[in-house]
Structure 1
Amino acid sequence: MTHPARAARLLWLAGAMLAAAPAAAQEPEFDANPEPQTAYRSKQAVMGRHFMAVTAHPLATEAAYRVLDRGGSAVDAAIAAQMMLGLVEPQSSGLGGGAFMLYYDAARGRVTVFDGRETAPAAATADRFMQDARPMPFADAVDSGKSVGVPGVLRALELAHERHGKLPWPSLFDDAIDRARRGFPVSPRLAALLRGNRRLAAQPAARAYFFHADGSPRREGEVLRNPELARTLAQVARGGGDAFYRGPLAQAMVQAVRSHPRPGDLSGADLAGYAARERDALCRPYRVYVACGAPPPSSGGLAVLQMLALLDHTPIGAAEPVSAAAVHYFSEAGRLAYADRDRYVADPAFVDVPVRALLDPAYLARRSALIAADRSMGKAAPGEPVPGALARRGVDDTPALPSTTHVSIVDADGNAVAMTSTIEQAFGSKLFVGGFLLNNELTDFALSPVDGRGVPVANRVEGGKRPRSTMAPTIVLRADASGPRLRLVVGSPGGSAIANYVAQTLVANLAWGLDIQSAIDLPHYGSRNRATELESGTSVEGLVPALRAMGHPVALQPFPSGLHGVEILSNGLLRAGADPRREGTALGR
């Protein structure tokens, strides 16, 4: 529980950082290209005194490290890492996708957000994914020109660099350009995702790059070169975002989308008109800390903050991290947070999202009273943070699929970046242009513009709108007499499970006192307001009988998160952790 006087002080600090927000959804189980479940690879926490980078691939971590080592900022390092990730982890992110970046300014003690979420083309309408008065098959919606939104990651990085970059923009592309020309070894995860991937192989440009002439996929360890991406990166290094959003490359993207057998309506004007947004972070007290996340159109920050607040009304802090009590309380909080997410979150430029009401302490206290000590509530209903809100909002069933990436970086000046980026499903829309894949982010909108009651859903498709996301890059501060200090930088890929991954890691590190690597290593569990989900092949499987006795519907499944975090210890040292479920690494000095 948070002490009242301390809560008042933390609320004041959080209030200085609070932003406005939007509306939500729920998802069926579908993924034509599921993330491969790999054996855990034990990893050790990495220590540093001056700076730290944690990313999803060793080559990206090394690129970020080199930038930090020559005096670059956290934003500079994030740009270098993202350019490399787009090359070596193309299934997850790249120039054709979007991102949310949290930035902590050590000098000002302030967290801001750079919103590079994709937008729907101006011509998009609410019935975009309807077919014969029904939502089209999800697989058909994904692998089509209709699913491609206007990419946003590059404009977000460019805006962040204008604000907080130290090194010249062109220099941040050098490592990725060089590696694209020389080639990189195909990683086990990329090779696993290529095997049997008929949908990717069905796209000629993607097939030519990811498969051999005989149709066999690129193999683990095989050196893969991408001279086309090297040329694209060189153009962007010289010309900035305009080299991407205008001219021949923009025309090539439009042509690829419009010539698909299920064409989309992306236009040159959509690309030229895209703008990233700088927003206030969404912040709220948690114990002696203030946790900050991305506001809508991401639902992740709101869900994480709601879960932390709900759990603060339970005795989860006294529970063992792997116990029926911990799983019970954490899952019940998740049911409530995801129920609100699925009803209320969407793009705030189009929908009035009651963010302040959803984070109001009195509202969350009422919601927490629904959590019983010994019995699951089952499927939770959304709350009503403001009178009449329930009647005005429909629930959507949009999938949010688990192929994304995350970087956590702290520079020598104490500034930090938590950035989650994505092209949505593994390999996005499968459309390959300029050496990179285009996203399928528009399938994060509701496929049907109304729910089963005929009520319009907040997250329906509209021209220029940003689809709801669950990305939850998070920065945690500790308030002291001299002002806020950085305490934790963390985030994860994982589709709609991201909020659970991040919230669990925060509880483990901040409430249970586990170091960041041990917190990331914990078996995953939680609920997205469906079953109580337990990570298969881990020690939580032994809790199934106790949970079922409490009324939990239990599902065992893989949870290949990609958590990357940096914690700042009381002596100023940096300690970093990378998820053993994936290929990420940490490197610092």
Structure 2
Amino acid sequence: MGALVLTTAAAVPAQADGEPAPHDDNGKTATARGHGGAVATVDRDATEAGMQVLRSGGNAVDAAVAAAAALGVTEPYSSGFGGGGYFVYYSAEEGRIHTLDGRETAPAAMAEDSFLEGGEPIPFAEAVTSGLSVGAPGTPATWEQAVERWGNRPLRTVMNPAIRLAERGFIVDQTFHDQTAANAERFADFPATAELFLPGGAPPAVGTRLRNRDLATTYREFARHGTGVLSSGIGADIAATAADPPVRPGATRTVRPGLLTQADVSGYEVVAQEPTRVSYRGLDVYSMAPSSSGGSTVGEALNILTALDPDPADSARLQHHTLEASKLAYADRNAYVGDPAFVDVPLDTLLSDEFAAQRACLVDDASVLPAPAAPGDLDGSGECTPAAPQQAGEHEGPSTTHLVTSDRWGNVVSYTLTIEQTGGSGITVPGRGFILNNELTDFEFEVAPSGAGAANLPAPGKRPRSSMAPAIVLSDGAPFLALGTPGGATIITTVLHLLVDRIDRGLTLPEALAAPRLSQRNAATTQAEPAFFGTPEEKELSALGHQFTSTPEIGAAAALEFLPDGGVLAAAEAERRGGGHAAVQLP
């Protein structure tokens, strides 16, 4: 769009009211079953925003954007207008999967050595909380394109629930309070962030109402003018804030300036691309192609499992094979996957049956592969001898959020969106009500001595590699599952294990979401949630040589399953991240 001259209403500072408001912990429903459309997110208000749009005649795409915009209000530390994501859409009319790559892009002034000083990488924490980490946001263009290409309702209608939510406010729960408290020290160094999220100098109390009138104004302008707002006021504010972060006088924090310009922001383009696809147990699993590594790595791991063909009745053996498949797929991800506009990603090879067989032959039923495992040989030799070891660093933040939607016409959306770390860069755009991403820290800061990381070095306009893996599974061409999760680099392993638990182990969808999670990412140890320890499976896997380290929580998934009777089962987390909310039109 061309430049627009906008008249902006005077900004009203967002605030938290001091009076207690009703706090209903029982308002969330983790599962819902029925007919018509469905929505599942991590947040009740966001799910309700999507349902409002469905009830008014909107489709799954409209509902997904409405829910995502609402999450920008209630989950501002995980997603929002200043971030990006990946949108996977099944069109019932076409019987086809479409995807939008809305990943943030590096500024035109960014170079391979932009995260180096004196030839050494800058401290990672300093990179996170800086203007240097801010990429051109992809979320506004993703929302606009999705609605324009596939929606039933205009953008101004789709954005209305989130605008009302931002104006009226939402009730602060324990998760929001705790996330604010964890970020309070750095939030306090940015006046706009402190004013919004630290009312009275402290995290808002559980049960109080938080309003964000600045964001309501931002959303209202976007609803009227679309991404045209990035060519003037809002876009200029994003660029100016990243280039020269407004820091509190007297703050001692090192906050580096960024490289983002208004031309970077207004020139952002969403990439419409073909999804990844693999066949698994007679089902077709679709997800995101690079710049995300989600679809390729989940797909390769599933192909390795197909080659190994473990007995689903032997739970420990199935888990052993899944962990080993994940380890090998991560080795290949780290070596070969980056933004395909800048590097030659061997996607066809990585997702081929022949390559999977080459990788599967390394797996031993009686022992564990040493880690880090080496990437596979791309020359097609099929030999089990691995190439020279490589291991790239892993910096992806554990935040992000995921949602799924469907409608009465049979359309389905699986959408993962993020601002990277919990709290992103920590820098709120003054007067605009949203935090900027720190997505560029997903680049490798330098190439390892082994050569690992070269595919994911910074470059002008480049998208950093992601692990986001929103997926839609078809059975005989019709939707069977839609799923995804937040969790940084653990996203891939969570999606993989959810698929294995539902398809191979035969767990119900709610059971698969509730099961203790493991995450093997080509490391000597596998992360495991506390409930896994002491189980018979843990003892059997440990006897094989697997080593486990405890982590409190992995991911916060949302999923849909389409039932033989034409109904839909919507499932969100029951406990993780405070629990999610699922709803259907006709329970």
- TM score, norm. by length of structure 1: 0.88
Cα shift at 1:396: 2.8
Q: What residue number does 1:9 align with?
A: none
Tell me the equivalent position of 2:445: 447
CA contact (8 A) 2:30 2:573 kept: no
CA shift for structure 1 position 534 = 4.4
Q: CA deviation at 1:248?
A: 1.3
Contact 1:156 1:277 in 2 (8 A): no
2:378 maps to 385
Provide the residue aligned with 2:167 in structure 1. Answer: 181
> Among 99, 111, 121, which residue is 1:135 paired with?
121
Per-residue deviation, residues 450-500 of structure 1 (Å, max 9, x unmatched): 212467711000000000000000000012xxxx11111000000000011
Partner Cα separation in structure 1 for residue 162 and residue 220 of structure 2: 10
Residue pairs, 1:368-517, within 5 angstroms? 368-379=360-371, 380-386=373-379, 395-433=391-429, 434-448=432-446, 450-453=447-450, 457-479=454-476, 484-517=477-510
Q: CA deviation at 1:417?
A: 0.3
Alignment pair present for 1:549 and 2:550: no
Contact 1:343 1:393 in 2 (8 A): no
Which residue of the partner structure matches residue 286 of structure 1?
Answer: 280
Q: Please tell me the residue identity of whatever aligns with 2:510.
A: Q
Matched, 1:296 2:283: no
Equivalent runs, 1:89-128 vs 2, <5 Å:
89-128=75-114
Letter in 2 for 1:253: I
Do structure 1's residue 55 and structure 2's residue 47 form an aligned pair? no
Q: Distance in 1 between matches of 2:527 and 2:411?
A: 35
Deviation at 1:325, TM superposition (A): 2.6
Given candidates 205, 208, 216, the residue that maps to 2:195 is 208
* Contact in 1 for aligned 2:107/2:259 (Cα 8 Å): yes
Partner of 2:241 in structure 1?
256
In structure 2, do the counterparts of structure 1 residues 508 and 387 end up closer, same or farther at CA, with 3 Å as the change threshold? closer
Is 1:367 matched up with 2:354? Answer: no
Q: SS at the partner of 2:546?
A: coil
Q: Are the aligned partners of 2:528 and 2:548 in contact in 1 as well (CA < 8 Å)?
A: no
Contact 1:523 1:540 in 2 (8 A): no
Return closer, same or farther for 1:508/1:317 CA change in 2, 3 Å cut-off.
farther
Q: CA deviation at 1:289?
A: 0.5
In the TM superposition, residue 42 of structure 1 has moved relative to its aligned partner by: 10
Question: Match for residue 67 of structure 2?
Answer: 81
Partner amino acid, structure 2, of 1:566: L
CA spacing shift, 1:120–1:309, aligned 2, 3 Å: same
2-structure distance, mates of 1:273, 1:56: 32
SS of residue matched to 1:476:
strand
Deviation at 1:391, TM superposition (A): 8.5
Specify the code of the residue in structure 1 equivalent to 2:222.
V
Shift of 1:309: 1.2
Residues 227-261 of structure 1: per-residue CA shift (max 9 Å, x gap): 10010000001111111x11111111111111134
Contact in 1 for aligned 2:284/2:474 (Cα 8 Å): yes
Query: Structure 1 pair 42/383, CA: closer, same or farther in 2 (3 Å)?
Result: farther
2:353 corresponds to which letter in structure 1? P
Say how many residue pairs are matched. Answer: 541
* Contact 2:82–2:436, Cα closer than 8 Å, also in 1: yes
Q: Secondary structure at the match of 1:146?
A: coil
Displacement of 1:526 after TM fit?
3.3
Q: Determine whether 1:341 maps to 2:313.
A: no
Q: Does the CA-based 8 Å contact 1:102-1:473 persist in structure 2?
A: yes
Return closer, same or farther for 1:579/1:177 CA change in 2, 3 Å cut-off. Answer: same
How many angstroms does 1:555 deviate by?
1.3
Q: Determine if contact 2:288/2:294 at 8 Å carries over to the other structure.
A: yes
**Displacement of 1:541 after TM fit?**
4.0
SS in 2 for 1:364: helix
2-structure distance, mates of 1:374, 1:200: 50
Match of 1:163 among 149, 152, 169: 149
1:49 aligned counterpart, secondary structure? strand
Write the distance in 2 (CA, Å) between the matches of 1:63 and 1:550: 48
Q: Is the 8 A contact 1:331 1:532 kept in 2?
A: no
C-alpha separation in 2, matches of 1:370 and 1:110:
35
Q: Residue 289 and residue 536 in structure 1: after superposition, are their counterparts in 2 closer, same or farther (change >3 A)?
A: closer
Aligned AA (1:425): Q
User: Normalising by structure 2, what TM-score?
Assistant: 0.89
| Secondary structure of the corresponding residue to residue 454 of structure 2 | coil
- Deviations 1:382-428 (CA, angstroms, capped at 9, x unpaired): 1022379x999975314111110001111110000000000000110
Gap change, CA 1:311 and 1:532, over 3 Å in 2: farther
Instruction: Answer whether contact 2:335 2:453 (CA < 8 A) is retained.
Output: no
8 Å Cα contact 2:516-2:530 kept in structure 1: no
Aligned to 1:536: 529
Report the Cα distance in structure 2 between the residues aligned to 1:391 and 1:134, rounded to whole angstroms.
Answer: 28
Where 1:313 maps in the other structure, the secondary structure is helix
Q: Secondary structure at the match of 1:318?
A: coil
1-structure distance, mates of 2:501, 2:414: 19
Distance across 1 between alignment mates of 2:553 and 2:296 = 22
* C-alpha separation in 2, matches of 1:455 and 1:492: 27
Which AA in structure 1 matches 2:325?
A
Paired residues of 1:491 and 1:564 also in contact (CA < 8 A) = yes
Q: 1:154 to 1:44 in 2, by over 3 A?
A: closer
Q: Which residue pairs with 2:265 in the alignment?
A: 271
Separation in structure 2 between the aligned mates of residue 180 and residue 276 of structure 1, nearest angstrom: 26
Which residue of 2 is the match for residue 13 of structure 1? none
**Structure-2 residue corresponding to 1:312:** 306
Deviation of 1:180 after TM superposition, in Å, equals 1.1
After superposition, what is the alpha-carbon deviation per residue over 1:255-275, rounded to whole angstroms, capped at 9, x for unaligned?
Answer: 111113410010011011111
Equivalent-residue separation in structure 2 for 1:381 and 1:442 (angstroms)? 26
Q: How much does 1:311 deviate? A: 1.3
Conserved? CA contact 2:355–2:380, under 8 Å: no
Query: Which AA in structure 1 matches 2:395?
Result: P
Q: CA deviation at 1:560?
A: 3.4
Once the two structures are superposed, what CA deviation does each residue of 1:193-229 show, in whole Å capped at 9, x if it has no partner?
Answer: 111421222222111111133x221122211111100
CA RMSD of aligned residues (A): 2.1
Using the TM superposition, give the Cα deviation of residue 68 of structure 1 relative to its aligned residue in structure 2, in angstroms: 0.9
Change (3 A) 1:523 1:342: same
Distance 1:125 1:138 in 2: 17
Cα deviation 1:326-351 (Å, max 9, x = unaligned): 33221111100100011111000000
What's the secondary structure of 1:240's corresponding residue?
Answer: helix
Cα–Cα, structure 1 residues 393 and 248, in superposed 2: closer, same or farther, change >3 Å? Answer: farther
CA separation of 1:177 and 1:467: change in aligned 2, threshold 3 A: same
Displacement after TM superposition at 1:187 (Å): 2.1
Q: Give the whole-Å Cα distance in 2 for the aligned partners of 1:179 and 1:317.
A: 49
- In structure 2, relative to structure 1, the CA distance for the partners of 1:42 and 1:107 (3 Å cut) is closer
Structure 1 unmatched runs, 5+: 1-38
SS of the aligned residue for 2:465 comes to coil
> How far apart, CA to CA, are the structure 1 residues paired with 2:218 and 2:435?
12
Aligned mates of 1:466, 1:393 — CA distance in 2: 25
Structure 1 segment 321-336 matched on structure 2, within 5 A:
323-336=315-328
**Cα distance, 1:42–1:529 mapped onto 2, change above 3 Å:** farther
